[in-house]
Amino acid sequence: MTEQLTALLLGEGAAEVGYSKIVPPPAYSNLTNAVTIVLRLSDAIIDGVATGPNHTYFHHYRTANAFLDRLALRAGLFLEQMGGQYVCVPASQSIEGFAGLFSHKEAAVKAGLGTIGRSALFLSDRFGPRVRLATVLTDLDLSQGFRPMSEKNPCENCEACFRACPAMAISGKTFQEGGTKILDRNACSTHMKQAYQKIGRGVVCGICVSVCPAGKK
């Protein structure tokens, strides 16, 4: 089943697909398996925001999220056809602050697709931070698609995102050292709203994505 779903999603445009066992949101306590869908972003567009976002990046960000939501629904419908239940976690949605329904990064890391960087971004082993994620929760057993968690550490001896962040929101600590406190989300959000209001209502930046060596060819 996981081979069929992976082939389906890759054929639709996903860059990678992973599977993991997760602790679901309380409202969906029976959906303990997750499908992670990875969409690769355009190198040409990401390279162009090393000093700040532009309108092209904002449009790409929005269309990538919309495309991921479509892929997630396609995956959910497949799982339903296989006899399971599903919930699609929106590619980009904030509920009561900065948190969403479920952490895409958590599922992606558990699926063995990458790690969390100093920037608090998910770093794909293949594409670095130049990706967007979607997650589908299900009650079906996806263990046939499980693989070991990644042991790569692209942030070792690197502080590129820490030095480049205009909001000084990145602490410089690794995820292992600082956990969820490695990024000051309020500082990041405030800077975006103040500096990039004319570009997508101040909800994008992308500098830390652009400068990260892990994502460059």
Place of tokens 């993991």: 20
Query: Parallel, antiparallel, or unpaired for β 122-124 and 86-89?
Result: unpaired
pLDDT tens across 116-160, in order? 999 999 999 999 999 999 999 999 999 999 999 999 989 999 999
Q: Quote the domain boundaries for residue 161.
A: 2-215
Residue 104 pLDDT more than 70? yes
For the chain, how many structural domains are there in total? Answer: 1
pLDDT above 90 covers a percentage of the chain that reads 83
pLDDT at 67: 98
Rounded Cα distance between 75 and 136, Å, is 7
The CA-atom distances, in angstroms, between 37 and each of 50, 55, 57, 108, 205 are 26, 25, 21, 8, 22
Mean model confidence pLDDT for the chain? 93
pLDDT at 72: 98
Task: Report which of residues 31 and 93 the model is more confident about.
Answer: 31
pLDDT at 100: 74
pLDDT tens across 159-213, in order? 999 999 999 999 998 887 666 689 999 999 999 999 998 887 778 899 999 999 9
